[in-house]
Structure 1
């Protein structure tokens, strides 16, 4: 099993309407007070994404767009198209959390939920993703974006393991942290195999394929201690667990701070 679904499923997540934060003294406003231009933009981006119309979606982005993962206008379009080539059915739903106006810059913070399915070798995979982002909007175009939090789950089979994935949202450089992926159902006599990996977030990582080295697990999950790199930035921490009834793959974003 390659890890591409693992990291490229986050992929599209990286895209839309999630608003965006800028520094400034303006106070963040509640969704109820948002101008129609904000809600209309979010609705239009969701609608275009649900149609999988990549040109329509990219029409809401500035040609000078940048984001915290190192993507620009061109690479975002490539990642988005590759993601949609994998999933025939997707549903995007974005909720506005807050907004503020600083001069010509409109700042919004949103939560985008993505659900979808894809079929591979007559097997159906189910995807559930939740991404919280911030972005700057100027002249009706998204010019900058930062991914704040991200959780993804991909399942296969009639009875995939129910996994509780526990990873901190942020750690300091060089700090140790716990990675726990706990299967909720009793295993009885079933065999459980799986593994956990960490990968820095980068444009290249969105399309990387690596071989997951699965191992037999003597307990009902994965319990590991990781160590944050001495480099600031975001990382994807992922775990895959397989039992007779199916497979569950979970990914969460971990931020390394000073």
Structure 2
């Protein structure tokens, strides 16, 4: 991808964000007309790395054997609530020792990473953000013979370091398995993140399916809610596999002028079952907004 572009914007991870003469996205069209063709995929993007850390921080409570039934969070036992409180406190205090101590040495995430991977990602993430606030909510829990299975939702807000700070807002819902006072497994159910910068970054609403079957085509819309007026918009989309290995190489989302008030694209899911991160960026003269959402690709999805 060419480094020579008509527009460049520094990213919180030190990357550039540009519109290059080598445009790999097809034209953007009105949602009422024919949609643009498939957008490209790439290993790295401008998505918020908070998604990676949400994979780690939202892991807390659970069990190993088959659960009895889901229970209301109001009926959760004291040890479950104490673990939630310990998690939230350690994250907000940036207490890496107490946070990692919640994970078993054989911890596995469905996305393919382990306890050591998580530790490295947390350290890198905390170094990048000047302020962070974590809120952990227990949605339901199930007792098992050896522990608990829980479903939690965590929200993270923060501000990056540097001369051009970004505001972060992220949310994740996940299911955890906890045995012998240690987390051994986690599955991410939903996640989304927004990075914004500037005096008045655009407010963007995402429209993306909850899941798709392998090989299916799907629509991705990132709609600017404010009236377009005289504003000139640039935008771009990127698809990538969910991967803890972020920020290894410089990368671009290529931007193109938008003829409508947002991004309206069609993508094609991979042939095999795996989750994707779909990112969209909208830029105007007074700000930039980058939205990212997880898209599960599974044969269980309704066609």
- TM-score range (shorter-chain normalised) is over 0.9
Q: 1:234 aligns with which of 264, 267, 275?
A: 275
Structure-1 residue corresponding to 2:253: 212
Q: Supply the distance in 1 between the matched residues of 2:285 and 2:126 (Cα, whole angstroms).
A: 29
Query: 1:51 Cα shift?
Result: 1.1
Does residue 135 (structure 1) correspond to residue 135 (structure 2)? The answer is no
1:178 aligns with one of 215, 219, 222: 219
Q: Is the CA contact 2:65–2:145 (under 8 Å) kept in the aligned structure 1?
A: no
Report the 3-state secondary structure (helix = DSSP H, G, I; strand = E; otherwise coil) of the residue aligned with 2:126. Answer: helix
Report whether the alignment pairs 1:247 with 2:266: no
Unaligned runs of 5+ in 2: 1-15, 18-43
Q: Distance in 1 between matches of 2:177 and 2:207?
A: 31
Deviations 1:89-146 (A, max 9, x none): 10110110110112103100000010111132x2221000010000101111111101
1:7 shift after superposition? 4.5
How far apart, in 2, do the equivalents of 1:124 and 1:205 lie?
19
**CA-to-partner distance for each residue in 1:44-85, whole Å, 9 max, x for gaps?**
111111111222210111111110111101001011111111
**2:208 aligned partner:** 167
Q: Where has structure 1 moved over 3 Å in runs of 4 or more?
A: 2-5, 17-23, 205-209
Give the whole-Å Cα distance in 2 for the aligned partners of 1:256 and 1:45.
30
In the aligned structure 1, how far is the partner of 2:63 from the partner of 2:219? 29
CA RMSD, Structure 1 to Structure 2 (Å): 1.7
Alignment correspondent of 2:148? 106
How many correspondences in the alignment?
Answer: 257
Higher helix share: 1
Structure 1: distance between partners of 2:196 and 2:241: 23
Could you say which residue in structure 2 is the equivalent of 1:96?
138
From the CA coordinates, give the structure whose radius of gyration is larger.
2
Question: Secondary structure of 1:181's match?
Answer: strand
Instruction: Specify whether residues 128 and 187 from structure 1 end up closer, same or farther in structure 2 by C-alpha distance, changes over 3 A only.
Output: same
Q: CA 1:25–1:76 in structure 2 vs 1: closer, same or farther (change >3 Å)?
A: closer
- 1:82 aligned to 102, 124, 143, which one? 124
* 2: CA distance, partners of 1:57 / 1:5: 27
- The answer as to whether partners of 1:20 and 1:145 remain within 8 angstroms in 2 is no
State the distance in 2 between where 1:150 and 1:208 align. 24
Q: TM-score, normalised by structure 1?
A: 0.94
- Unpaired runs of at least 5, structure 1: none
Measure, in 2, the Cα distance between the counterparts of 1:36 and 1:21. Answer: 15
**Aligned partner of 2:193 among 138, 142, 152:** 152
- Normalising by structure 2, what TM-score? 0.81
Q: Where do residues 17-32 of structure 1 align in structure 2 (5 Å cutoff)?
A: 17-18=58-59, 19=61, 24=66, 26-32=68-74
Distance 1:69 1:21 in 2: 19
Task: Give 1:5 deviation, angstroms.
Answer: 5.1
Structure holding more strand per residue: 1
**Alpha-carbon deviation of 1:24?**
2.6
CA distance in 2, matches of 1:60, 1:23: 19
CA contact (8 A) 1:17 1:42 kept: no
Is 1:71 the counterpart of 2:71? The answer is no
